[in-house]
Structure 1
Amino acid sequence: MDKGYEKELFQSLSIKSSVAKKFKKYCKSISKSQSMTLLLMLEFFDENGLSPEDDLKPNLKATENLFKKRINTLIAIIKDIEKTQTKPTLAMLQALFMVDEPKKKPLLLEKKRFKKEVKNHFGEKSGIDLKNESEV
């Protein structure tokens, strides 16, 4: 029995036998009783403001266009958020966490004085400064 309708009486409807066969087959396919199937159909038409004679194609096209507009609007909003918030924030975070190594400057080394070995007249070796070489 149908829940909520157990105590109600049945009434008969006069419908063609071919229509009754199709209706019974449809009721079995959705696993509902005939009363509940007919009730669901009537509620569907009432809630959606449709008539069985209406053509749904224009209605569906209008709904599809509405969805497309809303989706395009959402895409535009997400792109704007990405441009104005996400990318700048990401750049700032990368700048904070990216530690650039300081440029390596050449080390200032102490100038060394090179000594040049010069033979003097007696065959001995002596160290002479290059800077002081002109004095010798």
Structure 2
Amino acid sequence: MDKSFKKEQFQTLKIKTSVVKRFRRFSKKMSQSQSMTLLLMLDFFEHNGVSPNETLGPQIQTLENLIKKRINGVIAIVKDIEKNQTKPTVAMLQALFEQTSPDDKSLQVEKKVLLEKNQKKISN
């Protein structure tokens, strides 16, 4: 039992025998006293706004679908950013770097052509 409830008195409830046996097994699985197990169960229902008469199936599936839609939205945003911002920027940077790096072969060819033209002029 929790220390904060140590000084409280016990009260009795009339519960059917089959329900008591099932609840005691559940309490042992939870490794809690019966009072603490019942308190945790009540806190869970109040905190989550769930009624024991309702099923959680449709609510959990609805929540799962909502999360999937949000994740798909985030994926679409990231793809759009990549397509419209990242790839064009990378392409521009690559184009800049390609323009600034000189080709040694093209420069050598141009020098040879110029030299050949000069030699033809001299020989004529």
Partner of 2:106: 104
Whole-angstrom CA distance in 1 between matches of 2:34 and 2:97 = 69
Shift in Å at residue 55 of structure 1?
2.0
Q: Give the number of the structure whose alpha-carbon radius of gyration is greater.
A: 1
Which runs of no fewer than 5 residues in structure 1 stay unpaired? 113-129, 132-136
Larger fraction in helix: 2
Question: Shift of the alpha carbon at 1:96?
Answer: 4.7
**Residue 69 (structure 1) aligns with:** 69
Matched-pair identity in %: 58
**Larger relative strand fraction:** 1
Deviation at 1:100, TM superposition (A): 3.5
Give the gaps of 5 or more residues in structure 2: none
Separation of aligned partners in 2, 1:7 and 1:91: 74
Q: How do 1:1-136 residues align onto structure 2 when only pairs under 5 Å count?
A: 1-97=1-97, 100-102=101-103, 104-105=106-107, 106=109, 107=112, 108-109=114-115, 111=119
Q: CA deviation at 1:25?
A: 1.3
Instruction: Tell which deviates more after alignment, 100-109 or 3-12.
Output: 100-109
Q: Give me the TM-score of the superposition, normalised by structure 1.
A: 0.69
Aligned residues: 114
Superposition deviation, residue 3 in structure 1: 3.5
Q: Summarize the Cα distance change of 1:9–1:78 in structure 2 as closer, same or farther, 3 Å threshold.
A: same
Give, in whole Å, the separation in 2 of the partners of 1:21 and 1:37.
Answer: 14
Structure 1: 4+ residue segments shifted above 4 A? 96-99
Superposed CA RMSD: 2.4
The whole-number CA distance in structure 2 between the counterparts of 1:50 and 1:57 is 12
